[in-house]
Structure 1
Amino acid sequence: MQSLQYIWQLRGWPRLSFDEGHLAEEVALARRAQGLVEGKLAALGFQERQDLSAEAWAQDALATAAIEGEQLDLLAVRSSIAQRLGASAFKGPAAPRHVDGLLSIMDDAVVKASEPLTHERLQAWQAALFPTGFSGMRPVRTGAYRTQAMQIVSGPMGKETVHYEGPAASEVPAQMEKFLDWFNASREDSLAKAALSHVWFETIHPMDDGNGRVGRNIVDLCLARDAGETSRLVRISQRLLDQREAYYNELGRAQHGGLDVTPWMVWFVRQVRIAWDAAGAVLDTSLEKARFWAAHAGAPLNARQAKAVNALLDQGPGGFEGGISTRKYVSLTSTSRPTASRELTELNALGVLKQAGAGRSTRYYINLPGWLPQQQ
C-alpha cells in the first residue's frame, strides 16, 4: 500500500483534510472534560496542585519511553522533576542524562508552548534524548535530520516485514519546512492540530531515532498552548501506552490511506478526552482526601497513624484490596503488633477508620461513604 508520503509526492503535497463535523462532537466532549478538570483544580491548594502535576509528569515520562520499549526508573524521574519544581525535600537517585533530557524537552513543550516550532528546536529536542550520541550500542545522528532511508520493520533477519517506509532523506528538509510553515501559521483548534501534526510528523519520520517521543512532545506543546501548565495533568502518553496496539494501528491506517484522515483525528481526540476524564478522577480522589482531612483536622494522630491513613486514602475505596489489617499496619509503619492493634483501635474510635469483621478477619477502612465493602 502507498503511504501518505507517496500520495503527497504525487499530488504536490496538498493539505491533509478531515471532516470537521465528525470531529466536532469529540472536540466538544474533550473540552467539557477539560473544563471539569480546571474547575476541580481551582479547589485545591498550590502544593496539592504541584504534587499532582509532578506525579502526572513523571508517569507520562515513563509512558512515552515505554511506548518505545524503554523502562525508566520512577524514583529517578520523580527526583529530577522535584528539583525542577523546587521541591528539594524529595530525595531519590540521580537521573541519567538521557532521562534528564526527556524531562527537559517535556518541560520546554509546556513552559515555552507559545514559542514557534522550528527546525532547531525539534533537533535540540531529539539531541537531548541521546546525549551520548548512542541508542544502546547503536550510534544515532543527533541534532539534525536523518541522512539515510528509514523503514519500520519487524520479524527475523532475512524475513523482515516492512510496515512503513518514510520519504527519501534528501526530501526531509523541504518536507519539514512545509510542516513547520503550516504548524506555525495554522489557527486550527489545538486538539485538531495535535492530532494532525502527530500523524504528519510521524509520516515524515525526520529523525534517525526518537521520532515517537519528539512527535508526542509536539502533542504536549499543542495541549499546553490551550491549557497552559494544567495540561501536565493530561497523561496522553499514558493513554497511548494503554492503547498501544490501537495507537499503532490507527496511525498506520492514516499513513497508508488517502488524504482524509478523519478516522485518525476522531480516534486521537477521543484519547485526549479519556485522558482528561482520568485526570478528573485523580482530582476527585485528591478533593475527597482534602475534605477528609478537613473533617478530621482535630484528630490526635501520631506519625504512624497519619502515614497509614494517607496510604489508605491514596489507594482509594477498598484500599489495599481488603482494607488494612494489623499485619499490614506493622509492615507499613515498622511497629510492633501490639502497637499496631492499639493504634488501629484508636483510629476506629476516632471515626477516622471503620472496623469490619472480627478476630483474624478484622479489617479497617477509610470511614467515607462508598469506601467500605459492599456488605457493610
Structure 2
Amino acid sequence: MYLWQSPYWPEFQVDLVALQPALASARYAQGRSMGLASHLQLMDLGALELQGWADEAIATAQIEGEILQVNSVRASAARRLGMADAKALDRDARTEATLDVLQAAIEQSLQPLSHETLYGWQAALFPAGRSGIQKIRTGAYRDHAEPMQIVTPRMGKPDIVHYQAPDSADVHAQMTRLIDWFNSSLGQTDGLVRAALAHLWIEAIHPFEDGNGRVGRALIEMALAQDLKTDKRLWSLSQQMWLDRAGYYAQLQVATGQAHMDVTPWVQWFVGCVHKAADATWDHMQAAMRKTRFWSGLREQHPQLTLTQTKAINKLYDVGPDGFTNGISTEKYVNLCRVSRATAYRELTALCEMGVLVQTGTGRGTRYKLSPAVSESRH
C-alpha cells in the first residue's frame, strides 16, 4: 500500500512536539542569516542573492540528472537581478526554463496557488513539448491510461517498481485538494512544516508526465517565500537536498511508500535541510564581509593597484592557499589577466615590492602568493 491509498489520505499526521527542537534551531538559523543580510553592503547582498539563484537552479536540475552550465546560470541570474556585470552569453534554453520557474514561484507567492500556476511552471520546463527526444504532455496534468510508476529498469528482467502514483483520472481531483489546502493553510500551519507537506503531497500525486520533482521544489520556494514574506533568495534548499540526495530519495520513498499518515520523519529531515541551508548562507555572508574588509584595507593602503593586479589578487584570495600549487606563476598571470609576459613580470614584481605578494622559488619554479600579512587579513 502507498501513502495515497490510506483511508486517511491526505490527513497528514505530524508530531509537532517532537519537531519543536528542530524547528526552533532552523528558525534561529534563518533569523540569524536574515539579520546579518540586513547589514550587508548592497553589492555583497547582490552577490549573495546571485549565488542563491545559481545554486538553486543548478541543484534542482542536478537532482533530475540534468547538468546546467555554471557560467550560463550565473549570467542569466545576473540579468534577472539587474546586475550591471551580467555577461552577454548565449542563452541556454534549459537554464532559462529552470530560472523562469524559480522566478515565477517567488513572484507569484503573493497570489493564491492554482492549477493554471502549476501548468505554467511545468510547461516552462519543456518549451519544446519534449523531454529529451520523447514528446510529452505539457501545461496540463497527465492523462495516460498506463500507471505512473517510478521504476528501476533491468535488462531481461521485470522492472523494479519503487512507487506507483494515483491513476491519471484521479489527478485533477487530488490536485484540487492539495491546492485548496495550500491556500487555506497559509498562516495556519508552521511555514516549514507546510513547505515539507506540500512537497511530499505533490510528489505523492506525481501529477505531470515529467518535471514533477522540479515543480515540487518550486512549490517549496513559493511556500518559503510566503513564510518569510520576502522575494529575496538568500539560500538554496535544493543544494542541500542535492548534497544529501541519498537521504532525499530515501526519505521520499519511505514517506510515500507507507500505509500510515504519520510523516514526522520526512518533515524532520526537511527542516534539517532548511537549517543547513541557512547555516551555509551564514558562512557565505561571513566570507563576503571578510572579503569586503580585505579589499577596503588593501585599496586604502595601495590605491595604485591596476585592474589586472586586482583581478589576480582576487583570484588568489578566492582560491585560497591551496588553489594554486605554491602560488601563481608568471605564465598563469599572463593567461588570467590577458597581458604580455613583460607586463605580468612587472606587475608581479610591483606587488612584491608593495608587500602584497611574496616570491618563492627561482627560474621556472618561481611562484607568487599572498604575503603572510595580507593572507592573515582573509580570516
Q: Which amino acid aligns with 1:155?
A: P
Pick from 254, 261, 264 the counterpart of residue 263 of structure 2: 261
Unaligned runs of 5+ in 1: none
The one of 364, 367, 376 aligned to 1:369: 376
What's 1:251 paired with? 252
1:273 aligns with 2:281: no
Contact 2:113/2:182, CA 8 A, preserved across alignment: yes
Cα shift at 1:337: 4.4
CA distance in 2: counterparts of 1:122 and 1:290, whole angstroms: 41
Any conservation in 2 of the 1:319–1:365 contact (CA below 8 Å)? Answer: no
Give the alignment's Cα RMSD to 1 decimal: 2.2
The answer as to whether partners of 2:105 and 2:219 remain within 8 angstroms in 1 is: yes
Aligned-partner Cα distance in 2 for 1:321–1:249: 40
Between 272-281 and 151-160, report the one with greater CA deviation: 151-160
Trace 1:1-376 onto structure 2 (pairs within 5 A).
Answer: 2-7=1-6, 10-11=7-8, 13-87=9-83, 89-148=85-144, 149-156=147-154, 158-186=157-185, 187-229=188-230, 232-257=233-258, 258-298=260-300, 299=302, 300-316=304-320, 318-320=322-324, 322-353=326-357, 355=358, 357-359=360-362, 360=365, 362-365=367-370, 367-369=374-376
Deviations 1:238-278 (A, max 9, x none): 11111111110011111112211111111111011111111
Deviation at 1:175, TM superposition (A): 1.1
Does structure 1 conserve the Cα–Cα contact (< 8 Å) formed by 2:352 and 2:359?
no
Secondary structure (helix, strand or coil) at the match of 2:110 reads: coil
- CA distance in 2 between counterparts of 1:328 and 1:101 reads 36
- Superposition deviation, residue 316 in structure 1: 4.3
1:67 deviates by: 0.9
| 20-29 or 270-279, which deviates more | 20-29
Aligned residue type for 2:199: H
Alpha-carbon distance between aligned partners in 2 of 1:371 and 1:295, rounded to the nearest angstrom = 11
Pick which of 79-88 and 28-37 moved more. Answer: 79-88
Distance 1:52 1:136, change over 3 A: same
Question: 2:323 & 2:354 partners in 1: Cα distance?
Answer: 19
Distance 2:360 2:84 in 1: 43
Distance (Å, rounded) in 1 between the aligned partners of 2:215 and 2:71: 23
- Gaps spanning 5+ residues in structure 2: where? none
User: In the alignment, residue 180 of structure 2 is paired with which amino acid?
Assistant: D
Question: Is the deviation greater in 195-204 or in 30-39?
Answer: 30-39
Q: Matched residue of 1:159: which SS?
A: strand
Query: How far, CA to CA, are the matches of 1:346 and 1:24 in structure 2?
Result: 58
Tell me the secondary structure at the aligned position of residue 299 of structure 2: coil
C-alpha deviations, 1:152-176, integer Å up to 9, x for none?
0112254210000001111111111
Deviation sequence 1:202-244 (CA, Å, 0-9, x none)? 0011111100000000111112123355652211111111111
Whether the 8 Å contact between 2:316 and 2:369 is mirrored in structure 1 is no
**Rounded Cα–Cα distance in structure 2 between residues aligned with 1:152 and 1:274:** 28
Give the 3-state SS of the residue equivalent to 2:201 in structure 1. Answer: helix
Partner SS, residue 167 of structure 1: coil
Answer whether contact 2:326 2:368 (CA < 8 A) is retained: yes
The residue type paired with residue 369 of structure 2 is: Y
Task: Quote the offset at 1:368 in angstroms.
Answer: 3.5
